[in-house]
Chain A
Amino acid sequence: MSLESTILVPNVLTEITALETFYACIEQAPSADQYVFDMSTVGFVKPYGVIALISAARHLSGLSGQPVRVKNLAKDVHAYLDRINLFDVGGAWLQSADTLDEKWSRNPQTVNLLELTPITGPDDVTSIALQARRIFSHWLAIKDLNSLLNVLSEVCANVYQHSGDSQGCVLIQKYEADMRGQVIVQVAVGDRGCGIRGSLASRHCNIGEDPLDYLKAAMQGLSARGTGRGGLGLRRVEQIIASNRGYLWLRSETAALMTWGPKKVQTHERLIPMPGTQVAVELCAPL
């Protein structure tokens, strides 16, 4: 008899730190032949929440050998997840159990987002940058658009250069904060590779015991490259988010840090173990 385990996904797929409660649900899930995400309480999903869904689904589908079934999706949530290609790009790990009505189907003309896109090598990243430039030039002045492209190239490159995971992906979404007269662009990138510790430890053996030590080392410019060059990407992203009133969230294994700019850093330890690296970046720009 097949054993099914249903996980009630909490309505936290919009909040970076609150997402830890979702990871806790995943960690506590019993062994099963089929996992199900019950999305009935989920009212909204942001890019980093999508990356969390994928990370969790990759973990659970790896355990069960079956894609996680996603059910009880609110129509607008379902339409959004369909719009961003979640069930295509992540089809090996997530499948919708619900049917999306025609009237909710995607509008390919919207220019608010870059769909979930796999990152397998440099050509993917340059293609992502090109698409992002086309899409977000509708909303962003050149300077802010270039900030976005800088961030994208640096955080996406880390996936294929350091993680060892060929199935990492990126998602970008633009929001308008009308009250503040701002455009907010959120970028989320995730992989289930070797993580920051796994990458740095291959070349530096005395950084520390805790995954957080490795995150801090990465933010200080330590690189896994043997050429002596490198280690600029995350620090450049940190500078850019500081000048765009944004943030960078960097999570790997059981540690994370949130930075709003150099010396404005909050660290998190003893989180739920999650392989690989998950990154969220937010940039603000005038509307």
Chain B
Amino acid sequence: MRYNMEKLGSALGLPDRLFLLRDKGEEAYPHLRAFLGETPEGQPLVLVFSANQLVDASFADESIVRLGRELVDGEFGQRCLLLEGLTEDSVHNIEAAIHLQNLKLAFLAVESSGDWRTIGHLEPSLQQALEILARRDRLTTVELAELLDLAVNTASNRLKRLYDQRLVRREHEISETGLQYIYYFWRWTED
């Protein structure tokens, strides 16, 4: 599901492309929360920002970061928030909102071209696993363990932590060897 943030900005009476102020973030929050709740399970809500926008740290904290914390708390099941088209200045502000509060929280900043990057806090080992998963689209614990020459428990832990942050989604299957999770990278472009 995709949502154009300009629409929300207009509804909140925000100036063109400026997402400023904690109050306005507070007003935006219930709308975004509702959109996220309406997003089908297993799919991302893509917030689409227009060019040259600015999201300040306080607006981000009260809306995007707050929802991110709730996603990690498991309030939205297998859904996620993808942030499309953010400017560098908006990225810096969202990262400031995360780092200044020492939050262990990361988002996927994506582009319509298919490019992506993480913003916020993500340990290098998890970043590495995420990049591998993004390249392969799907990954199991055993596959990651083999690729990185890791113990299966370590690989399992890394993928689980990515899942807990809702940076990936997962499905399970029951095989002869027992329950196995298959992890998937989120998709936001139409192939």
Contact = CB atoms under 8 A, between A and B. Distances in A.
Interface of A: 122-123, 125-127, 129-130, 133, 142-143, 146-147, 149-150, 153-154, 157, 161, 221, 229-233, 235-236, 239
B124 interface: no
B39 interface: no
Interface in B42-100: 52, 54, 56-58, 61-62, 66, 87-89, 93, 96-97, 100
Nearest to A126: B15
B117 to A, nearest CB: 19
27 contacts: A122-B21, A123-B13, A125-B21, A126-B13, A126-B15, A126-B20, A126-B21, A127-B15, A129-B18, A130-B18, A142-B52, A143-B89, A146-B87, A149-B20, A149-B56, A150-B57, A153-B20, A153-B21, A154-B56, A157-B23, A229-B61, A232-B58, A232-B101, A236-B56, A236-B57, A236-B96, A236-B100
Contact of B96 (A146, A147, A161, A232): A232
B24 interface: yes
A239 B93 CA distance: 10
B161 interface: no
B22 interface: yes
A262 to B, nearest CB: 10
B21 A157 contact: yes
A123 B14 CA distance: 8
A75 B130 CA distance: 66
A178 to B, nearest CB: 27
A122 B13 CA distance: 10
Q: Which 7 A-B pairs have the closest CB atoms?
A: A146-B89, A130-B15, A153-B20, A236-B57, A122-B23, A232-B57, A153-B56
Contacts of A146: 54, 87, 89
A235 B56 contact: no
Interface in B107-159: none
How extensive is the interface on chain B, given as a class?
20 to 34
Contacts of B57: 150, 154, 232-233, 236
Given A153-B56, A154-B58, A239 B96 contact: yes
Contacts of B52: 142
B97 A232 contact: yes
Contacts of A239: 96
A214 B24 CA distance: 27
B94 to A, nearest CB: 11
A150 B91 CA distance: 13
Q: Output the residue of B13, B88, B96 with the most chain A CB within 10 A.
A: B96
A235 B58 CA distance: 11
A228 to B, nearest CB: 10
Contacts of A125: 20-21
A123 B88 CA distance: 25
Contacts of A142: 52, 89
Given A143-B89, A232-B58, A233-B58, A157 B100 contact: no
B54 A150 contact: yes
A146 B52 CA distance: 10
Nearest to B89: A146
Contacts of B58: 153-154, 157, 230, 232-233, 236
Given A130-B18, A149-B20, 8 more contacts: A126-B14, A133-B15, A146-B89, A150-B56, A154-B56, A154-B57, A232-B101, A236-B58
A275 B38 CA distance: 49
Nearest to A127: B15
Contact of A126 (B18, B62, B101): B18
B43 to A, nearest CB: 28
A232 B18 contact: no
B189 to A, nearest CB: 26
B93 A150 contact: yes
Contacts of B56: 149-150, 153-154, 236
A205 B24 CA distance: 29
A117 B23 CA distance: 20
A236 B56 CA distance: 9
Nearest to A146: B89
